[in-house]
Amino acid sequence: MPELPEVHTITKDLARYAENSIIKEVKVNSEYKKVTNVEDLKRRLVNNKVTTVSRIAKNIILELSSGEYIVVHLAMTGRLLLRKQGHPADGWERVSITLEKKGNIFELRYCDMRMFGKFDVLNQSEFNNLLSKYGPEPLNPNLTDEQFLNILISKKSSIKNVLLDQSKIAGMGNAYVTDALWIAKIHPTTHTTKLTKKDATNLLKASREMLNEGIKNRGISMSDYVDLFGKKGNQQNFFRIYSKTICTKCNNKVEFIKINNRGTYFCPECQPLR
Ligand SMILES: [Zn+2]
C-alpha cells in the first residue's frame, strides 16, 4: 500500500513531466463505474493546462488552469503510470489522460485492480474540504515536539492507532510506523496517556528518519507498489523490524500482533510495555 514516501516519489517525478502540459484526451474504461459521468469529466479536463503537481498526505494533486483539481488516491492496489504514447496497455487501466508538453506526448494511466483507490476531479470547495481532513505531516519542519505530543495525546488510544489516524498525523502508514516505534523504543500498544515529552521527541525524529529514508529509497515494494515508470522501490531492503523474525538490535525473537487488523511487529526486549 503506497504511503507518504511512495506517493511523494510519484508526485516529484510527475511534476517534471506534467507541470505546464496540456490535457489533450481523457479515456475512461467502461468497467470503471466510479466515474459516473464520463462526458462531464472530459469537459472539465480536456484543453486544461496542468499548472502544478503536488501531494497532500497520500493524495496526488494536479492543479488545473480552470481552478479545479485532479485528485488521485492509490489506496491498496492503485498505480499511476506515465507511458509514452503507444506503449502497450497496462493491467487494470481505469482512467488514462493524454498530456502534451513541448511536442512530447505522454499517457498518464491510473490503474487499480481492486478499485479501493480513486480518481476524482474536485472544485475549490470540495478541495478545501479534502484539505481539512488531514492532520500535519511529520515531515513538516514547523511541527514541534510539543505540538506532536499534544496531537498524540488528543486521541485516547494506542500509539500505533494514532500514528495511522490520518486526521491526526498525515501520511504515516503501517510499515513506517512499525519501524519508527522500534527506533523510538516504544511498544506499539502503549496508551497515549503514558507518553512523555521525550517519547514524542524520539518518535518525531524516528518518523522523519524513516520517511526520509523511504523517499531516498523510492518507497517500499512488497507487493503492488511501483513508481511512475513501473519500477520498484528499495525500502523493503532496509526495514528495521517490519516483517522480521529476529530483532536486529538484540537478537531476541520479534513478536507479531494485530492492532486494528494491521500486522504489527515489535521487540519485547527493546520496546517493553510500560
Ligand atoms: Zn530487540
- pLDDT of the chain, 274 residues: tens digit per residue: 789 999 999 999 999 999 999 999 999 998 888 888 999 999 999 999 999 999 999 999 999 999 999 999 999 889 999 999 889 999 999 999 999 999 999 999 999 988 889 999 999 999 999 999 999 999 999 999 999 999 999 999 999 999 999 999 999 999 999 999 999 999 999 999 999 999 999 999 999 999 999 999 999 998 779 999 999 999 999 999 999 999 999 999 999 999 999 999 999 999 999 8
Count of beta carbons in the 10 Å neighbourhood of residue 131: 12
Residue 245 alpha carbon to ligand 1 centre in Å: 11
Cell numbers 472539465 correspond to: 44
Q: pLDDT of 156-197, one tens digit each? A: 999 999 999 999 999 999 999 999 999 999 999 999 999 999
Residue 256 alpha carbon to ligand 1 centre in Å: 13
Whole-number Å distance between alpha carbons of 90 and 96? 10
Residue 241 alpha carbon to ligand 1 centre in Å: 9
Cell numbers 531476541 correspond to: 252
Residue 264 alpha carbon to ligand 1 centre in Å: 14
Whole-number Å distance between alpha carbons of 204 and 180? 8
Its pTM stands at 0.93
How buried is residue 58: exposed, middle or buried, by Cβ count under 10 Å (0-12/13-18/19+)? Answer: buried
CB within 8 A of 99, min separation 6: which ones?
A: 17, 18, 21, 22, 23, 24, 50, 105, 106, 107, 108
Residue 251 alpha carbon to ligand 1 centre in Å: 6
Taking each helix axis from N to C terminus, what angle separates 197-216 and 174-183, rounded to the nearest 10 degrees?
Answer: 130
Residue 181 alpha carbon to ligand 1 centre in Å: 12
CB within 8 A of 178, min separation 6: which ones?
A: 160, 188, 241, 242, 264, 265, 266
Residue 252 alpha carbon to ligand 1 centre in Å: 6
Confirm if 267 and 247 have CB atoms less than 8 A apart.
Answer: yes
Per-residue model confidence (pLDDT) at position 76 = 86
Residue 253 alpha carbon to ligand 1 centre in Å: 8
Whole-number Å distance between alpha carbons of 116 and 213? 27
Q: What is the longest distance spanned by two Cα atoms in the chain?
A: 62
Which residues pair with residue 79 across a beta bridge? 111
DSSP three-state, residue 83: strand
Residue 127 alpha carbon to ligand 1 centre in Å: 44
Per-residue model confidence (pLDDT) at position 268 = 97
Give me the residues near ligand 1 (ion), CB cutoff below 5 Å: 247, 249-250, 252, 267, 269-270
Catalytically active residues, by annotation = 2-3, 58, 262
Whole-number Å distance between alpha carbons of 32 and 51? 27
Residue 182 alpha carbon to ligand 1 centre in Å: 8
